[in-house]
């Protein structure tokens, strides 16, 4: 990463220091993302469970609870198609939690403290950590998608798939912010169960297994106020029917809200950690 400032031509062309600063910050974000992605190839043993788990969960649930689609009111969709989007959201959750655990490890080993000594804005460092989660979640998602196509789940269409990917990456970023907040607070990998629990509750306390109308009263009430329900509906829409703006915008809004909320917590956590 270069530390040389912008040239006079650059300043003139870009309207001052802002764009050059932005470029340098982007370089920091890219470097941190590349570091996180390198872990996948250099320590594959650590990432394999996270890649396999959502697929195992979906296939397992389909095998065990597959007959649930026979319950009156379930609709014409088969169970495995119904739960594949849940697996995608779990991939986002696992990746977000793994991001927090990796940060806790970096804190334990002193690497994160050295990173904070770099002349890069702290929010840029946070952005790099979170952006890596958004990209890393594509690995378990791609694996699950390939398996889903193999076992007979219908292709959701390019548009539906792109909307689903956008929502999943956004949700992974939100879960990563949540896990990063915990990592900065507890500063130990032993907080991993807390990180995983947040995403577990977020994803499964939704109409994960059956339509909302078939949920028990208390779970229906929780699912109604859980913003991840909107994300699940947005990801699921193209698998079980047509893609519509009416189901897309609440999902986008929910993801944006979650990122803003947990991003603010993470930024505050980083400020406190650094001070």
Partner 1 sequence: MIPVVLALARRAIVGNLRRPQFLAPLVIFPTMFLAVNVGGLTSTTGLRGFPKVDGFLDFQLAGALTQSLLLGGVSTGIASALEIEGGFFDRLVASPIPRFAIVLGRLLAASLVAGIQVLFFLALGLAFGATIKGGVLGVLLILLIGMIAGIGFGAIGQAIALRAKNASTVQGIFPLVLVILFVSSAFFPRDLLSAPADSIARFNPLSYLADGLRDPIISTVSWQPVLEGLAAAVGISVVAMGLSVLALRGRLRDA
Q: Which residues lie near partner 1 (CB under 8 A)?
A: 45-46, 48-49, 52-53, 56-57, 59-68, 70-71, 73, 190-191, 193, 197, 200-201, 204-205, 207-210, 214-216, 218-219
Nearer to partner 1, 24 or 80 (CB): 80
The least distance separating partner 1 from the CB of residue 52, rounded to whole angstroms, comes to 5
Taking the complex as a whole, how short is the minimal distance between the CB of residue 115 and partner 1, in angstroms? Answer: 23
Give the orientation angle of helix 79-108 with respect to helix 44-65, to 10 degrees: 150
CB of 240 to partner 1, least distance (A): 16
Which CB, 59 or 270, lies closer to partner 1?
59
- Based on CB atoms, which residue is closest to partner 1, 61 or 254? 61
Q: Find, among 203, 2, 169, 38, the residue nearest to 95 by Cα.
A: 169
Whichever of 46 and 260 has its CB closer to partner 1, that residue is: 46
Minimum Å distance from CB 226 to partner 1? Answer: 12
Query: Smallest distance, Å, CB 102 to partner 1?
Result: 12
What is the dihedral sign for C-alpha 195, 57, 75, 154? positive
Nearer to partner 1, 45 or 246 (CB): 45
Minimum CB distance to partner 1, residue 5 (Å): 43
Q: Which is nearer to partner 1, 82 or 112 (CB)?
A: 82
**Least separation in angstroms between CB 97 and partner 1:** 13
For the chain, give the secondary structure using H, E and C.
CCCCCCCHHHHHHHCCCHHHHHHHHHHHHHHHHHHHHHHHHHCHHHHHHHHHHHHHHHHHHHHHHHHHHHCCCCCCCCHHHHHHHHHHHHHHHHHHHHHHHHHHHHHHCCHHHHHHCCCCCHHHHHHHHHHHHHHHCHHHHHHHHHHHHHCCCCCCCHHHHHHHHHHHHHHHHHHHHHHHHHHHHHCCHHHHHHHHHHHHHHHHCCCCCCCHHHCCHHHHHHHHHCHHHHHHHHHHHHHHCCCCHHHHHHHHHHHHHHHHHHHHHHHHHHHHHHC
Instruction: Give whichever of 74 and 265 is closer to partner 1, judged by the CB atom.
Output: 74
């Amino acid at each position: 990463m270069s530390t040389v400032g912008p040239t006079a031509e650059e300043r003139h062309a870009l309207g001052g220091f802002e764009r050059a600063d932005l470029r340098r910050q982007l370089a920091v974000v890219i470097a941190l993302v590349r570091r996180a992605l390198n872990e996948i190839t250099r320590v594959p043993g650590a990432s394999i469970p996270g890649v396999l788990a959502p697929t195992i969960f979906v296939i397992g649930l389909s095998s065990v609870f597959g007959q649930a689609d026979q319950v009156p009111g379930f609709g014409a969709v088969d169970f495995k198609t119904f739960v594949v989007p849940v697996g995608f959201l779990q991939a986002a959750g696992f990746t977000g939690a793994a991001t927090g655990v990796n940060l806790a490890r970096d804190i334990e080993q002193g690497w994160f403290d050295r990173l904070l000594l770099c002349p890069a804005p702290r929010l840029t460092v946070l952005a790099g950590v979170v952006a890596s989660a958004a990209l890393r979640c594509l690995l378990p998602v791609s694996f699950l998608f390939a398996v889903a196509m193999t076992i007979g789940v219908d292709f959701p269409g390019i548009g539906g798939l792109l909307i689903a990917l956008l929502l999943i990456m956004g949700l992974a970023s939100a879960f990563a912010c949540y896990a990063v907040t915990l990592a900065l607070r507890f500063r130990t990998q032993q907080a991993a169960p807390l990180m995983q629990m947040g995403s577990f509750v977020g994803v499964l306390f939704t109409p994960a297994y059956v339509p909302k109308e078939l949920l028990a009263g208390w779970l229906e009430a929780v699912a109604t106020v859980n913003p991840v329900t909107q994300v699940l509906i947005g990801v699921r829409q193209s698998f079980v029917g047509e893609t519509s703006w009416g189901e897309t915008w609440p999902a986008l809004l929910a993801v944006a809200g979650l990122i803003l909320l947990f991003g603010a917590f993470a930024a505050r956590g980083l400020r406190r950690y650094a001070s």
